[in-house]
Each structure stands twice: as structure tokens, then as C-alpha cells.
Amino acid sequence: MSARTILITGGAGFIGSHVVRRFVTRYPQYRIINLDALTYAGNLENLRDVENAANYAFVKCDIRDAEGLKKVFAEHAPDGVIHLAAESHVDRSISDPMAFVNTNVIGTVTLLNVAKKAWAELILNSILERGAAPRFYHVSTDEVYGSLHDDGFFTEETPYDPQSPYSASKAASDHFVRAYGNTYKLPFVLSNCSNNYGSHHFPEKLIPLMINNIRNNKPLPVYGKGENVRDWLWVEDHASAIDTVFHKGVNGETYNIGGHNEWKNIDLVHLLCSIMDKKLGRAEGESAKLITYVTDRAGHDLRYAIDAGKIERELGWRPSITFEEGLERTVDWYLANQAWLEHVTSGDYQRYYTAHYADR
């Protein structure tokens, strides 16, 4: 396998940190550059186990900063980009849509411009000498397809119909990536994945929020009637799918990624309560008493469900573990990592950056 230099954006976030860890440990012949602005959602503690690896480097940079990006491309000459940096929380997009336009749309287009120019002129020769070929991999969400009723699945042919400011901004970024492929012949692949869960997930999202609140005996806020359905995939299986698409995907193609694992929110919260009752030695049914129905999210999408047939048939990828196994591992990780939770919720990880990285 040829030596490659891969720029991973958003590598300090939830999914990005799993992708960085996978690439750093599985591909010692690659150089992995993690580029992240370290917003509230980015935490270098997520990568403590690989931060001293010889093939890993971190760069603090905002994807809206064209000059900063140009320097990174000139210095590291990446032949691959795996783009995960984004504002990712639907509720935040409802209260501050411009932040989502700025990072997800303008940031993505800024990155596309810099990659396009660098790959056309600046660093193309050094990439070709390395025996590699440029590839821009855009990581996106199934939410761009909108909301399903009780049946049917999202396929790669489903028309875009985003319903929240978050999904609209991700849809716009997807369109820009394809437009750069068509107009400027930028070699790209794209994937749209369902909801992820697993370790290092910021506790504003459903699963880590519920685990944290159950442990602390705090109310469990279920939006509306809890009837909305999400299709959950273990984050390490998403990272393995990203690895597969990056290496085996066909330029210009899109791959849907999902776990064939639909859950109504309320059923999932009950399942988490029951797992936590056992782990914490509480009587069965004790944690479920914390469930509190709260005002529904504005414009709340009813159901997401992915048809992952294309990536399974064409690239041979499949999820590796069951939901029961993944949830059990996730709960165990949160119970064993109380300090991480305290740091990310208090902003202490910013101090971790200053102590460990400011002089690098």
C-alpha cells in the first residue's frame, strides 16, 4: 500500500476521533493530519492514546480560514481529505442557524477551494511522486433526505428534502462537493450516514445525555411523545465504513451507511434505563421514573431509516456488532470515564489543549 498523507478535518470530535484513531493505528505507513478548530465539540482528550504516534500530527485551524488551510496544504501536501468538521447538533441549529451556514457551507466551500487549487498546481507533483491520487471525501448525514413516514428507506436516489437548518446546511455542502466534482473535476466520494452512538459522544445528543442523566438521577427529557424513529449505528462501524469508502469507493459516487437498526426514542430510553438499572444496582424500573416528556423540537423529523444495500453489495461493508453489544460497550465506557464527561461539560478540555499542545 502506498504512503499517503491524509488530512482529517473535525478529528477532535465524536466521529472524527474514531476515524483518526483507526487510520493512525491501522495504517502506520500513512501520515494523518488532524485539523480541527476545537469548538465546544472538539476535544483532544479523545485522542490521548494516539497523540504521540509517529504518523500523527494535530493542527488547530478553522475550515473557514483559507490562509490557514493553504499553509497546511503547502506544509503537509495531503493527497486525501476526509472532511468531518461541522456544526452537528440539530437543536443548536434551530437557535443559531448562521453558525451552521458559516461552518458547514462556507467552511466546506473554503476547504474545497484550497484543495482544488493545491491539487491542481501546488502539490500535485509531490503527490504523484508518492504514487497516490488526490481524493476529497465528504462525510454527510442521512438527514439531508428529510423525514420518512412509517415505511420506506433512504437510498442514494432519494431526493434531498432537508427540514432543519442543520440538515439544510449539510445538504448545501453535499451539493457544493458534487458541483466541484462536475465543474472542476475534483475527485470526490461522499457518504450519508444514520445516527451514530458510542464512546466520546458529546452529552448534548440523545444517548450520552440519557446515560449521564440516569447516572445523576436527573430528568430524562423526551421530546414530544417519544415516537420519533432513528436508525442507530455504532460509531466504530461508521469509522470502518469511512475507511472502506475512502479506499474502495468509486470517484463521484455516494454511499449510504446505516445499521438496519431503527428505534423509537421512547423505546430506546426505556432500554437504556433498564441497562443502567442493572449496572448501577438499582431496582428494575427505577431509572425509568426519571422519564419526562417535554415540548417537542420545532419541525422534528419523524423517522430516518437507511437502505445500506449499495455499500454492502459494492464494497462489502457491514456493521460488525449488534445494537445490544454496542450499547452495553457504550454504557460501560461512560461509567468508566466520569472524568472525560466532567471535562467536556466544564470546558476543561480547552485547558488540556493549552497544557499539551500550545507549544507544538
Among all residues, which ones are annotated catalytic? Answer: 142-143, 166
Q: Which is nearer to ligand NAD, 38 or 77 (CB)?
A: 38
Which helix (H) or strand (E) is 239 found in, with range? helix 235-248
Choose the contact partner of 12 out of ligand TYD, ligand NAD, none; CB within 5 to 8 A by kind: ligand NAD
Q: How far is the CB of 171 from ligand NAD (least distance, A)?
A: 11
Q: Which is nearer to ligand NAD, 84 or 327 (CB)?
A: 84
Which of 195, 196, 199, 330 contacts ligand TYD by CB under 6 A? 195
Q: How far is the CB of 266 from ligand TYD (least distance, A)?
A: 8
CA distances (Å), origin 89, targets 10, 58, 112, 165: 14, 24, 23, 10
Q: Which is nearer to ligand TYD, 80 or 259 (CB)?
A: 259
Tell me the number of residues near ligand TYD by CB under 6 A.
12
Going across the sheet that includes 262-264, the strands are 195-197, 229-234, 262-264
Phi-psi domain of 67 (left: phi exceeds 0; alpha: psi -120 through 50; beta: other): alpha
Contact between 205 and ligand TYD per CB under 6 A: yes
d(CA 350, CA 352): 5
Going across the sheet that includes 56-60, the strands are 56-60, 31-36, 5-9, 80-83, 135-141, 188-193, 254-257
Contact between 201 and ligand TYD per CB under 6 A: no
Contact segment (CB under 6 A) with ligand TYD among 44-52, 79-87, 152-160, 223-231 equals 223-231
Which of 7, 90, 235, 311 contacts ligand TYD by CB under 6 A? 90
Going by the DSSP 8-state scheme, the letter that residue 303 receives in this structure is: B
* CA trace torsion 204, 206, 207, 209 (10° rounding): 40
Q: Which three cell numbers stand for residue 186?
A: 475534483
Choose the contact partner of 45 out of ligand TYD, ligand NAD, none; CB within 5 to 8 A by kind: none
Q: Which is nearer to ligand TYD, 33 or 210 (CB)?
A: 210
* CA trace torsion 89, 94, 100, 104 (10° rounding): 60
Q: Which three cell numbers stand for residue 292?
A: 419526562
- Interface residues with ligand NAD (CB under 6 A) are 9-10, 12-16, 36-39, 41-42, 62-64, 84-88, 103, 107, 139-141, 170, 193, 195-196, 202
Q: How many CA atoms lie within 13 A of 300 on its CB side?
A: 16
Q: How far is the CB of 238 from ligand NAD (least distance, A)?
A: 7
Report the interface residues with ligand TYD, using CB under 6 A.
90, 195, 205-206, 209, 221-223, 228, 230, 265, 297
